[in-house]
Amino acid sequence: MEPMNKLKIALIQSDLVWENPIENRNRFQKKIVEVSNDIDLVILPEMFTTGFSMAPKNIAETMDGATINWMLDLAKKKNCAITGSIIITENNKYYNRLLFVHPTGKIDFYDKKHTFTLAGEHEVYTAGNKKNIIDYKGWKICPLICYDLRFPVWARNTENYDLLLYVASWPKPRIEAWDTLLKARAIENMSYTVGVNRVGVDANNYEYNGNTVAYDMLGNCLAKNNNTEEVSLIIEIDKEAQNKIRNKFRFLEDKDKFEFQ
């Protein structure tokens, strides 16, 4: 696949049907089909087939399950990559796993490192321990999940990535932190940064008000969707423009060196 200087992305914010993968796939299918055919990447929220459930036993899928096959089929038909997280079971463990499905059929994935202790996620899901920088159309993409946003060291741009993305189920009472931290991650990493959140009320009566957003490498807001369920929020990002800013200011060259323990 030839490298591309520009990347066109659809950020799809949606309400979710609690623990109902079939219905959620059907809903997202309609939204993705409506996206124009020149989109390079579609981003869906965290646990987009179930909502943020702590009861994975009957809803977890395998890496050759229905949702992955659905993503593979759609990515091929739309000729774009599709990403978002779902509940995966593997080796008798459960993971909150972000899947990045390429139109070629290649699958990259990232397991959420910072499980959300406030909801007991750490008691149910196995935490990941590896950052995965995905190469797509010549772009280096760093995918992270929800609570990871609160931990800037994990997101630190030591790999010279071009795009930082978060998928989330981030509730309304803490949405100010979502907005603030996403902007901070963009500025400190000099990287395009997007966050895709859900809307609606889940079975635990938690309300989500979206605020799906995209920032450029200086923290300027490129687009934002508040509490509405539109088909998608479309952005186009430009790697050459980002590199010009990086070369002009060179802030990343002064970053601290560190090791994870």
Question: Which sequence positions are flagged as catalytic?
Answer: 46, 112, 146
Packing angle of the helix pair 66-78, 21-34 (nearest 10 deg): 10
| CA distances (Å), origin 26, targets 16, 73, 188, 196 | 11, 13, 38, 19
Q: Which strand (E) or helix (H) includes residue 180?
A: helix 175-189
| Token pair 């399950």 in the structure block, residue | 65
Q: What is residue 61's DSSP assignment? A: B
Q: Within a 13 Å sphere around the CA of 145, how many CA atoms are in the beta-carbon half?
A: 32
Give the length of the chain: 261
Phi, psi of 102 (to 5 degrees): -80, 155
Are the C-beta atoms of 63 and 97 separated by less than 8 Å? no
Alpha-carbon span 79 to 110, nearest angstrom: 22
